[in-house]
């Protein structure tokens, strides 16, 4: 997070190496490092990091969001379109997205 926000590639790379050494089966440090390289346009380095993930058999976990409505938790994984109320949910999310942009939110 912070290394990516401040484009501190050396510290980000060092942190990713340390986390990988402590938890070699964790894809997160590779994904974050890859995202850092992508943010500054270093596409060859992105490919190298992604290749390391393939070699190690690591896969990025899909993004997950959850919301509780009437004491029931609904979970959503990125790319999963199986929820029975998908259409209504997407329409509501588009409405909320418009509202927060009208209020001044600018996504990174």
Q: Is the pLDDT of residue 7 over 80?
A: no
- Nearest Cα residue to 88 out of 76, 103, 72, 71: 76
Residue 2 has pLDDT above 70, yes or no: no
Residue 39's pLDDT is 86
Give the predicted TM-score (pTM) of the model: 0.59
Instruction: Write the pLDDT tens digit of every residue in 9-63.
Output: 888 888 888 888 899 899 999 998 898 889 889 999 999 999 999 999 999 888 8
User: What is the reported pLDDT for 16?
Assistant: 85
Q: Give the mean pLDDT of 77-96.
A: 86
Q: Give the separation between CA 87 and CA 72, rounded to whole angstroms.
A: 19
Does residue 106 register a pLDDT over 90? Answer: no
Strands (E), 1-108: 64-69, 72-77
Sign of CA dihedral 43, 49, 52, 58: negative
């Amino acid at each position: 997070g912070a290394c990516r926000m401040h484009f501190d590639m050396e510290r980000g790379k060092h942190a990713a190496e340390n986390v990988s050494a402590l938890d070699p089966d964790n894809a997160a440090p590779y994904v974050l490092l890859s995202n850092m390289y992508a943010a500054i346009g270093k596409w060859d380095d992105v490919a190298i990091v992604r290749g390391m993930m393939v070699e190690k058999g690591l896969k990025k976990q899909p993004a997950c969001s959850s919301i509780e409505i009437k004491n029931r938790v609904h979970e959503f994984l990125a790319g999963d379109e199986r929820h029975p109320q998908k259409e209504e949910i997407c329409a509501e999310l588009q409405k909320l997205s418009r509202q927060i942009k009208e209020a001044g939110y600018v996504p990174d």
